[in-house]
Structure 1
Amino acid sequence: MAYNNKGFYRTEWYIDGQRYTRQTEIPVTGSKKNKEKAQALQAQWRAETEADIMAAEANRVRNPKGKILDQTLDEAVAEYFEDHEGQWSGIRDIEADFERIIGYLGAHFMIGDIDTETIIEMVNKRKREFVKLRTKDGKPKIDKATGKPKPQKLVSARTVNISVGERMKWFLSHMESKGRQIQPIRWEVVWVKEAPRHTEFTYEHEQLMLKTYRTDHLPALCFALAGGPRREQFVDLRWDQIDWRKRTITFKSLKKKAKKGQEPKPYVLAMTPSIENLILSQIDPETKRPYNPEYVWTYVGERTFWNNKTGRDHVKGERYRLTYEGIGTEWARWKKEQQLTNVRMHDMRHAAGERLAEACADPMIVRDSMNHGDLGMTERYMGGVKVERIRQAMLAREALDADRMQVVVPTENPTQNPTRVWA
């Protein structure tokens, strides 16, 4: 029995060498009865754990050597998460997807019974679900024109493929590598056909943004377009991430895979003069000091109000750190004002990579500049080769062909007729 630094008892017990711990709400201070209550609770939880282990073992299928061949879905998912602890970004989304999958099949469904038909049934269920409402009251937004709730949207084909297809593919592949007897899946019939997304942040969008966007937010957005980092990376840019001597900016890697047992390589962005000028715009010309001592990007308060998050006044005219939510809210407001329906802030990252690809023939440079895990991701983000680049390549080939066709090929051995003059 132990207690944590918050003054509440924490229970601890071992079963077959496996350590289990659980926090109680029983305070350490007080009578001896509190300790007895905590001990009784520990005994109860230990008994429940032993019962769960016995129930799980009853459902396991082992070979003569004791190797697990099959097990329940909830146990396998817990094992899957334990094997990948600390290796995933976006863990909340992954947890939500597997909670949904367990809800479809049931916690005691055996993973050895999962076949192509099972996954297709889950895909069909997911296709009939709606996009999760993000309103505070949990109700659909009201259409101002009609006064009626806006219709809910079904989840996209891309969401279905990620939340069911990709999750199950990686899960079953991992469990198979651990010796579980997994049925072969025809993945080609599982995937839902995705409609191509034709969003692009064009030069016209850039010109419109420069003319109409809120000026104190512009430096951060122009930085995103110039360098191509993700929103959670460029919004949280700190001054200590900038190396002025090497003229580089080092971001924490979010997506790039690392070799087993190694930390992901940092995302290093080269600093060009235009990027440097954008960063220097966040230094007060009078005091010669940054507007914010820790974070680079700031904005000017447009009104005075009490900020519940910070617990202090938000004063009009003063500089504050730019946040992930704040820049997103302003982006949504600007899109609505300019009547842009199919342009995302993330499209600026795609535009940065595509423009770099047009100016550079080396895909390795584009990959590292965009911090992609592999060239396949770079190719998917960059899309197909522009027609103009294909035309330039064809013209270069035609010029090469023309040069080669002008060469006169000898018809006799020059060593046998040294006086012959060759064209």
Structure 2
Amino acid sequence: MTVYKPKASPYYHFDYQYRGVRYHGSTNCKSKRDAERFERDHRTEVATGKKGKPSVTLDEGIGIYWDAKGKFDRNAKVTEYQLGNVLRLIGPKTLLQDIGDIEVARMVALRRIEPSFPNRRIKRGEVRPAVSAATVNRETELLRRAHRFLAKKYKIADDPIEWGSHLLKEPKERVREASPEEEAALFAVLTERYPDMADLVEFALLSGARRTAVVKLLWSKVDQRRGTASVHTKGDVWHEFPLTDRMKEIIANRPRVGPFVFTYVCERPAPARADRPRRIKGERYPFSKEGWNRKWYRALDEAGITDFRFHDLRHTAASRITRASNLKVTQKLLGHTRIETTARYAHVGDDDIRRAMDAVQQSRNSPELVGEKSTETRRKPYIRRIK
């Protein structure tokens, strides 16, 4: 027999394997003899098929799901991170058959109030935003997939959890695109006052790449001969995209100092800090992730542009590429794994719909089509002769 008494429990527990499946848990017996009898009966039920719920912890189940499914996801690192959050919030020792609506609701509530980007430095007085509803929903949906996979594998019974009731309401997609007039006003300010930033912003607008990806663009990841560049993006992957003639020109005109393509000239010296060395006036340094925010928002203010974020450059690029081609091309450029994500970036307005309708109308009234219709109308009808 394999019964034992944990230090923190007054009851004996059992732990054994049958045909490669582990069964363990509390016998709810304080007597060792009673516990051994309980385990013997449990083994008999399992061997005869009457016991259909093996005691599998969430920790074990997540490991099984990872080996069978998770590590083969395209964004496996994101999946691994999300599974870690699920395991941490529900508890690694929680049995699969004990996970119900209460446990899922608790996980959602705890995750919702956690701060996003916990390792990021914040300025004095700045409030760290909470985890977004979309992030919580993605992790809840991942738990649903893992739970259903494991429930079927171990015959834990039907899935009684009402998963839809645990999904948070996500805010309506942000629709903000730079107009041609706003673009011209912005670059007029940037070119005059912040020429180094002007190149960075224009490259972001043409490529649709995220801010961090553009800021950290390496010379070693630019292939001028092939006309491509690669940026490090979400999921710890390298995303490659083609370069237009203007993007090649921007890169060719950048001073090649250090490993990064985009650098700026230091305007005033600064002492060394924990996250960077000393700054010397007149020397070039790579852009930090957020250190130039003040100049960016000052340029927007001088250009008369309101309610515009740097990430809206990515939305602008996506919308323009979609109008000029299709959503699949935009998905390839942005490096999205799901086209549904791309659809949230590529905005369609009434003017776009109207232009598409006008194009269809003009094609219907084209001379070629009208000529074919008129020819058809002049044809004599076919009359069947009856003998």
Structure 2 residue aligned with 1:354? 319
Structure 2 residue aligned with 1:28? none
Alignment map for 1:121-200 (pairs within 5 Å): 121-127=106-112, 129=113, 131=115, 141=125, 155-163=131-139, 165-176=140-151, 178-179=153-154, 181=156, 183-200=159-176
Query: Once structures 1 and 2 are overlaid, which stretch shifts more, 77-86 or 110-119?
Result: 77-86
CA contact (8 A) 2:318 2:346 kept: yes
User: How far apart, CA to CA, are the structure 1 residues paired with 2:276 and 2:321?
Assistant: 44
Structure 2 residue 76 is the aligned partner of structure 1 residue 76:
no
Query: Once structures 1 and 2 are overlaid, which stretch shifts more, 339-348 or 64-73?
Result: 64-73
1:270 to 229, 233, 242: 242
Structure 1 residue aligned with 2:204? 224
Structure 2 residue aligned with 1:18? none
Q: What amino acid is the match of 2:333?
A: S
Alignment map for 1:11-410 (pairs within 5 Å): 58-59=24-25, 64=47, 69-80=54-65, 84=70, 88-90=76-78, 94=82, 97-98=85-86, 100-102=88-90, 106-127=91-112, 129=113, 131=115, 141=125, 155-163=131-139, 165-176=140-151, 178-179=153-154, 181=156, 183-203=159-179, 205-213=182-190, 214-251=194-231, 254-255=234-235, 267-283=239-255, 290-292=256-258, 294-309=259-274, 312-322=277-287, 326-331=288-293, 334-335=296-297, 338=300, 342-360=307-325, 362-383=326-347, 385-402=348-365, 403=370, 406=374, 408=377, 410=379
Structure 2 residue aligned with 1:259? none
Offset at residue 237 of structure 1 (A): 1.7
Change (3 A) 1:365 1:197: closer
Query: Once structures 1 and 2 are overlaid, which stretch shifts more, 116-125 or 348-357?
Result: 116-125
Gaps of 5+ in 2: 1-12, 27-41
| 2:24 alignment partner, SS class | helix
Q: What amino acid is the match of 2:223?
A: D
Change (3 A) 1:139 1:274: closer
Q: Normalized per residue, which structure has more helix?
A: 2
User: How far apart, CA to CA, are the structure 1 residues paired with 2:163 and 2:202?
Assistant: 41
Q: What amino acid is the match of 1:141?
A: G
Offset at residue 117 of structure 1 (A): 4.9
User: How far apart, CA to CA, are the structure 2 residues paired with 1:380 and 1:399?
Assistant: 30
Q: What amino acid is the match of 2:62?
A: V
Offset at residue 54 of structure 1 (A): 7.7
Change (3 A) 1:135 1:72: closer
User: How far apart, CA to CA, are the structure 1 residues paired with 2:207 and 2:232?
Assistant: 15
TM-score, normalisation: structure 2:
0.68
User: How far apart, CA to CA, are the structure 2 residues paired with 1:74 and 1:188?
Assistant: 24
Same amino acid, percent of matched pairs: 23
User: How far apart, CA to CA, are the structure 2 residues paired with 1:119 and 1:382?
Assistant: 33
| 2:377 alignment partner, SS class | coil
Change (3 A) 1:205 1:134: farther
Q: Give deviations 1:61-112, integer Å, cap 9, x for gaps.
A: 996499984412233335555664696335785366235522xxx4432122
Q: Give deviations 1:222-246, integer Å, cap 9, x for gaps.
A: 2111111233432222222222222
Change (3 A) 1:337 1:408: closer
Q: What amino acid is the match of 1:363?
A: L
Change (3 A) 1:313 1:251: closer
Offset at residue 196 of structure 1 (A): 0.5
User: How far apart, CA to CA, are the structure 2 residues paired with 1:206 and 1:100?
Assistant: 45
Change (3 A) 1:194 1:278: same
Q: What amino acid is the match of 1:89?
A: K
Q: Give deviations 1:186-212, integer Å, cap 9, x for gaps.
A: 333222221213242413553454244
User: How far apart, CA to CA, are the structure 2 residues paired with 1:336 and 1:111?
Assistant: 54
| 2:271 alignment partner, SS class | strand
Q: Give deviations 1:33-78, integer Å, cap 9, x for gaps.
A: xxxxxxxxxxxxxxxxxx9x98985239996499984412233335
User: How far apart, CA to CA, are the structure 1 residues paired with 2:121 and 2:208?
Assistant: 35
Q: How many residues align?
A: 333
CA contact (8 A) 2:262 2:286 kept: yes
| 2:310 alignment partner, SS class | coil
| 1:413 alignment partner, SS class | coil
User: How far apart, CA to CA, are the structure 2 residues paired with 1:124 and 1:100?
Assistant: 13
CA contact (8 A) 1:120 1:190 kept: yes
User: How far apart, CA to CA, are the structure 1 residues paired with 2:114 and 2:382?
Assistant: 79
User: How far apart, CA to CA, are the structure 2 residues paired with 1:113 and 1:159?
Assistant: 25
| 1:217 alignment partner, SS class | helix
User: How far apart, CA to CA, are the structure 2 residues paired with 1:133 and 1:236?
Assistant: 19
